[in-house]
Structure 1
Amino acid sequence: MDSLIFALNAVMPIVVMVAIGYAIKRAGFMNDTVTRAVNKMVFRFFLPAMLFLNIYEISDLADIQFGYIIYGAVATILMFLISLPLVILYTKHQDRRGPLLQSTFRSNNALIGVPLAEALCGSAGVVAAALLSAIVIPLYNVLAVISLSLFSGNGGRPNVKKMLMDILKNPLIQSIALALAILGVRVLFVKMDISFRLSDMTILFKVLRYLSNLATPMALLALGAQFEFSAIKELRREIIFGTAARTVVWPLISLGIAYFFFRDTFTAAQFAVLISIFATPVAVSSVPMTQEMGGDVGLAGQLVVWSTLISSLSIFFSCFILRLVGIFG
């Protein structure tokens, strides 16, 4: 029961914010033009600030255990590679393939992952989640750009040069690269006994924090504003495929393999982090990115909403089963 309550507490605020966004749209305070503008701001300013701070604020780089990090990254890449031909076979709509493929591997780790890991394993879970985020969040964004570029209206023929340019020009990837570079400089400064942190630049740090704090609520309000119940019937097949892959199929496979082959290697905190990347819903950031790259933004939004609703059960069962087999005390 505790696991179910936690799962509901993790996902219900997201659902409520989406519902508020929908109500705001119905009340006439937001229209399609405003929603698109909000998504642009989220993608170009708010999310980059949030990702930058999430990675920059990693404090403990000592004694990193790379096993679970490698497993999480490899599993994510395999999800992408296996899902790619399945998505092509499943839907004939070119603009739906990108967001559908994206939904299979891109989890809401930035929003739910760290709180989930902390609730399950305390400070050890926070450290493990932060370290894994530094790897999987850049990976998510690179694979997401590839997913959307593959089906961006060129008949499915990949343009490698354009794809690379899309990756390099992506604000989320740029912010992550900058954060990793500054993090590396900070580590070097520590070795040289030089004490300096970005938080010492109070004005800049506060501005970044303000922008970061806007990312999630604004993205969720915009998601609710563009949600259309009338679209469910037309997108039903894709919604079922993406939601099932994100909340049932891949959690079962990836967590099952981790348990049977690595239960004596991974710690409880590391299993908690794996739940946070494999059993959580589709990332909210997938919606503004889909809009920016010309995919079916309606489908992207539907996948976020429905995977969020169903993920309360996937998180619950993941926690319950791993507790039952002795991973969590």
Structure 2
Amino acid sequence: MENLIFSFNVVLPIFSLMLIGTFLRKVKLLDKEFIEKANNFAFKVLLPVLLFNNIYKSHISEVFNVKLIVFAVLINIVIVGTMFIVVPKLVKENRDRSIVIQGLYRSNFVLFGVPLSRNIFGPDSLGTVTTLTAIIIPIYNFLAVFILDWYSNDKSDYKKTIVSIIKNPLIIGSFIGIVFSLLNIELPQFIEKTVADVAATATPIALIILGGDIEIKNLGKNMQLLFSVTVGKLLIIPAIVIITAIIFGFKGVELGALFSMVAPSVAVSSYTMALQYECNSELAGQLVFVTTMFSPVTIFTFIFILKSVGLF
């Protein structure tokens, strides 16, 4: 019973914030225009400040785990590489293939990683998960651009692509945080307090906006792909990564960071990027919607099992 209550306490606060957003959209306190602006504000301001603040307050030299970073990078490359072999054999349309591959590996790590880690292990765990975020997010973006471009008729200018990734606010926030942490640069107290206050609003606002944004129609049109990708993204891949991580000796906060990387729903930004290419953006949006709806159940299940066996 204790592990059951623990699992509920981890997942319900996150899911409740999303439900608040859905409710506010239904009663028309949030409209499409506001949600678009709020998403932009969260992406360009709140989440970068959150990443900076978490890294700034952590001791990077103490929490930077080379084994964890290498494992996380390699496991993502292996997943994408495997999908490049498997997906074309199962999915006929090119414009669907890129969306399926992206949906299987790319998660809402920034949005869910921090609250999951904090809810499971407490605030002292944030240094590990935020450092991992700072490494994985650029890789997610590079892989997403490569995948979408590979299956698109409209080939990209890779120089512009690299520049756009470097200019990504999440990457900038992470990089500045790493610099400040490594060089032991201390902000004036009033600035540090302001940054902390802004960072504290990032997760609840982003989750509320996400809840208000998930409104998709015509789900039956892509039901087979939606079912396959949702099962793969929320159950099969997290299970494989967790088991592999345990074999390599990861547990506790480190295993929690890896879990937070693979267990959440498909990244919202995958839909935005799909719009820029000749890919099935409708399917991308539907995957965000469906995996977001079911991820609280699968995350709860994994947490309950891992807590019960003493790995969390």
Q: Deviations over 1:176-226 (max 9, x none)?
A: 22222232322xxxxxxxxx412x2513x3443343333333333333333
Identify which of 222, 237, 244 aligns with 1:257. 244
Structure-2 change in CA distance of 1:23 and 1:118 (3 Å): closer
Q: Deviations over 1:71-98 (max 9, x none)?
A: 122112222333346556637374x666
CA shift for structure 1 position 254:
1.4
Match of 1:223 among 186, 194, 210: 210
The separation in 2 between residues aligned to 1:174 and 1:60, in whole angstroms, is 16
Tell me the residue number matched to 1:247.
Answer: 234
Match of 2:23 in 1: 23
1:282 counterpart = 2:269: no
Structure 1: tracts of 5 or more residues without a match? 187-195
Whether the aligned pair in 2 keeps the contact of 1:149 and 1:293 (CA below 8 Å) is: no
Residues 51, 130 of structure 2: 8 Å contact kept? no
Within 2, Cα distance between the matches of 1:177 and 1:324? 37
Letter of the 2:302 counterpart: S
**Structure 1 residue 67 displacement after superposition:** 1.9
Partner amino acid for 2:254? Q
Is 2:298 the counterpart of 1:314? yes
- Please give the per-residue CA displacement for 1:118-143, whole angstroms capped at 9, x wherever unaligned: 56556775554344334334433443
Count of residues paired in the alignment: 310
Give, in whole Å, the separation in 1 of the partners of 2:179 and 2:267. Answer: 25
CA distance in 1 between partners of 2:198 and 2:252 (Å): 33
Partner in structure 2 of residue 92 of structure 1: 93
Partner SS, residue 62 of structure 1:
helix
Change over 3 Å in CA distance of 1:233–1:239 after alignment to 2: same
Instruction: Report if aligned partners of 1:58, 1:131 keep a CA contact under 8 Å in 2.
Output: no
Amino acid at match of 1:314: T
How far, CA to CA, are the matches of 2:199 and 2:122 in structure 1? 24
Equivalent position of 1:236 in the other structure:
223
Tell me the TM-score normalized by structure 2: 0.78
SS of equivalent residue, structure 1 residue 173: helix
Residue type at the aligned position of 1:41: F
C-alpha distance 9-291 of structure 1, shift in aligned 2 (>3 A) = farther
Could you state the TM-score of these two structures normalised by the residue count of structure 1?
0.75
Following superposition, the deviation at residue 15 of structure 1 comes to: 3.0
Matches of 1:184 and 1:99, distance apart in 2: 37
1:301 Cα shift?
5.3
Deviations 1:264-294 (A, max 9, x none): x33443223322223333345656x548857
Q: Say whether the 8 Å CA contact 2:103–2:266 is kept in structure 1.
A: yes
What amino acid is aligned across from residue 34 of structure 1 in structure 2?
F
Matches of 1:209 and 1:216, distance apart in 2: 12
Cα distance in structure 2, aligned partners of 1:122 and 1:226: 29
Uncovered stretches (5+) of structure 2, i.e. residues with no partner: none
Following superposition, the deviation at residue 250 of structure 1 comes to 0.7
Distance in 1 of aligned mates of 2:83 and 2:106: 12
Quick one: distance in 2 between partners of 1:44 and 1:137? 14
1:202 aligns with 2:190: yes
CA RMSD of aligned residues (A): 3.5
Which of 214, 238, 254 is equivalent to 1:270? 254
1:111 shift after superposition: 4.4
Between the aligned partners of 1:180 and 1:114, the Cα distance in structure 2 is: 16
